[in-house]
Chains A and B, each alone.
Chain A
């Protein structure tokens, strides 16, 4: 009981600090590939430290939803980080770590942010919320059907069960359905976290913003929470990707040595994934907004193929 709580706490702390560090790493990889020195890897942490102490502002017509949205965004991601089996296959409240529940929790965060954006009453807020939710709605089928493809061999959508089944039958990891599901999952993660080619997090042009436009009005501690939430969402989704598709290294018990090994392997896997994503971002241009649903439809087709091949080849 105490051990599982300690592990969950470790996961949360890891995600809280690992998120900004991952964003910093991805930024550094992009800068180096562009031939620049770029800021140090810990730069996002420095930004958060400064932002946390800056003044909070809110627009005159905003209601209680505006300050609540960053709290919900961070809280849902922290909850997912606490219950997901990232370091061990037996986390705290592991029984509730259902993959569908995780997806809907992250959706709750997005919905809260969308409402917060509309609460400002600006054109940017409406635009950001409209675009982000359209993309979210079109990415849902790909996400849920690829989860279906993962859950079918394990006969359960419970995360620890899926991972334990993969560990027990490693041959499941190299099947075509797993690889197709991986491709679909990567496309959805890119969309959910607002990375290129779906959205450019570093753009200054409001008309090209999707996620950024939703958070234009946040400042100070609220903005720190929003930035933290974004980076935590990225690191949690990449960590889930790592443990679901490449589970080796994860601990099956609570012993400290096993946890240390799990932590090191998880950090290595996430860093590798982040580097690969960053390199991909450098090589690609941002898609036109109305081409993004085509990409999501492609992801949906891949996930349907994953399920079909699971049934045909089983």
Chain B
């Protein structure tokens, strides 16, 4: 790779994200446990992928959630909790529960997006079992359809304690 091309990409362009305000007790507890390091397992329980695109943006160089110690991991055993998007469809209900069981206790559950909170536009659809809260105990909700990447990063900062 040519040196100039390499160096052209090194200009930092990350957006400033405000620190989160005081949160729910579960969030404060998580912040106290994690103290600057948060690994989450993302589970798509039936989303339209809009939230996934915003998550990708949140971890991109522009919003850079990693600078606050937040990371997505492949194995739930390595994680502090789950990041669930989409309403919980019937086929994904059991896998979601199994994934939650695979995370070491105590596990946090983050419901990202309106669909995860209350099924959003898919409420009452034939394939939908319920919101994430109907299947797992939710510790943090991030509203929006889809939520803004800065809002995602801000909310996760609260969990990470940074």
Q: Note whether A and B contact each other (Cβ less than 8 A).
A: yes
Which positions in A face B, CB cutoff 8 Å? 31-40, 43, 46-47, 49-50, 53-57, 203-206, 209, 212, 216-220, 223, 282-283
Chain B residues whose CB sits within 8 angstroms of the CB of A218 once the complex forms? 77-78
B67 touches A216 (CB 8 A): no
Q: Nearest chain B CB to A310's CB is how many angstroms away?
A: 35
Given known contacts A38-B64, A46-B69, A204-B72, is B6 in contact with A33 (CB within 8 Å)?
yes
**Bound CA–CA A31/B66 (angstroms):** 10
Given known contacts A55-B104, A218-B77, is B66 in contact with A39 (CB within 8 Å)?
yes
Q: Write 25 A-B pairs (CB below 8 A) sorted by A numbering.
A: A32-B10, A33-B10, A34-B9, A35-B11, A35-B61, A36-B12, A36-B61, A36-B67, A37-B12, A37-B14, A37-B64, A38-B66, A38-B67, A39-B67, A40-B69, A43-B37, A46-B69, A47-B37, A50-B36, A55-B104, A55-B105, A204-B72, A204-B73, A219-B77, A219-B104
**Bound CA–CA A37/B73 (angstroms):** 19
- Interface residue? B75 (CB, 8 A): yes
In residues 28-67 of chain B, which contact A (Cβ within 8 Å)? Answer: 33-37, 39, 61, 64, 66-67
**Bound CA–CA A33/B37 (angstroms):** 23
Question: Could you count the A-B residue pairs with CB atoms below 8 Å apart for me: how many are there?
Answer: 85
- Chain B 5-27 per-residue mask, 1 if CB under 8 angstroms from chain A, else 0: 01001111110000000000000
- Interface residue? B1 (CB, 8 A): yes
Interface centre among A34, A47, A56 (most CB of B within 10 A): A47
Which positions in B face A, CB cutoff 8 Å? 1, 6, 9-14, 33-37, 39, 61, 64, 66-69, 72-75, 77-78, 80, 104-105
| Majority secondary structure, A binding face | loop
Chain B residues whose CB sits within 8 angstroms of the CB of A34 once the complex forms? 9-10, 61
Q: Nearest chain B CB to A171's CB is how many angstroms away?
A: 33
Given known contacts A38-B66, A39-B66, A46-B69, is B78 in contact with A223 (CB within 8 Å)?
yes
Q: Nearest chain A CB to B107's CB is how many angstroms away?
A: 9
Nearest residue, chain B, Cβ from A203: B74
Chain A residues whose CB sits within 8 angstroms of the CB of B78 once the complex forms? 216, 218-219, 223
